[in-house]
Amino acid sequence: MASPLSPIPPGPFLSASSTTLTRRSLLLSSTLSTTLTTPPLSSTSLSPPLDTTITDRVFLDFSLCPTYFRSTLPNTSTSADSTPLCSDPTPLGRLVLGLYGNLLPLTVSTFKLMCTSSSYKNTLVHKIFPGQFFQAGRQGRSREYGEVHLLPALDLPRNIETVNPKAFLLAHSRAGIVSLCLSENDDDNEIKLDSDYRNVEFLITTGPGPCPQLDNNNIVFGTVLEGLDVVTAIASIPTYKPSDRIRLLNDLAEFFGDERAQKGRALWNRPLKTVYISDCGELQVTKPSMPPSLP
């Protein structure tokens, strides 16, 4: 006759009295294991907020000519700063821009110098993308086409913020964002190859929605404080839109290495009327001698 089976002894971590597991013990054991395996949050993992304090204010006045133009002004004459681009311009209004000088001191100081030296004056808004943004400050060797011409006397410093990842953290989240053009830059290629080249082209978002395609590629350094109606007026100006056939031919020419493809593409999204910066400068804001008191 076979002997009865002897009971299996309990394991080293399980006593005979605890072989029956309750729901409470399972919950307690899972809570303990989660507490032991989850590392505590360190203070270094929480990044501080970005300093978007407005340290400087500049203004850009925009005007409109009824037709597109080719300037007859001398290439480097100082009269280019004072002579309007057309005989009967229509003022569009003024933009007041607030700049984040604590966050991006080099970008802000360069932009402010371009305004105070009148380097942006009588230069074009050369691209308008409806519902997204417009661009200004394209750089060329002369002002024949309303481009920015940097005088050697400006002596702009190199902007090392363009290679700093922290400079790209702000997003193009709404209308009125002022950003330094990097991915959207279309300066003359010959200008870019110059050892003294400095990027001064900028864009302003027009809304109504964000422009996420610009994020992480262009440097947001300011915002429009006054004049969003001017931004809307610029965004509503009709632009040159190539047909599907022209786009196809342009892509084909680029595929075969034809340099004319890039020159042809430069005309796309050009405004059909001359929009230009008729004046620019810095706004001096008097700081209060005493902080405001609570009511």
Question: What confidence tier does 66 reach under pLDDT thresholds 50, 70, 90?
Answer: confident
Instruction: Tell me if 64 sits within 8 A of 134, measured CB to CB.
Output: no
Percent of the chain with pLDDT over 70: 71
**Ranges of each domain in the chain:** 56-72+85-242+272-283
Instruction: Tell me if 69 sits within 8 A of 123, measured CB to CB.
Output: no
Between the alpha carbon of residue 215 and those of residues 121, 138, 222, 290, the distances in Å are 28, 20, 14, 39
pLDDT tens string 220-254? 999 999 999 999 999 999 998 877 787 787 777 77
**Which residues does 67 contact at the CB level (< 8 Å), separation at least 6?**
86, 273, 274
Q: Distance (Å, rounded) from C-alpha 125 to C-alpha 95?
A: 14
Q: Distance (Å, rounded) from C-alpha 151 to C-alpha 199?
A: 13
Whole-prediction pTM: 0.77
Closest CA to 144 of 196, 80, 201: 80
Could you say which DSSP state residue 188 is in? -
SS3 205: strand
pLDDT tens string 250-273? 777 777 777 676 666 677 789 999
Q: How buried is residue 254: exposed, middle or buried, by Cβ count under 10 Å (0-12/13-18/19+)? A: middle
Q: Distance (Å, rounded) from C-alpha 61 to C-alpha 95?
A: 6
Residue 184 has a pLDDT of 92
Stretch 132-151: mean pLDDT: 85
Sequential DSSP letters for 31-67:
HHHHHHHSPPPPGGGSPPPP-----EEEEEEEEEESS
Q: Is the pLDDT of residue 14 over 70?
A: no
Residue 38 has a pLDDT of 47
Q: Distance (Å, rounded) from C-alpha 204 to C-alpha 226?
A: 13
What CATH topology corresponds to 56-72+85-242+272-283?
Cyclophilin (2.40.100)
Stretch 123-130: mean pLDDT: 94
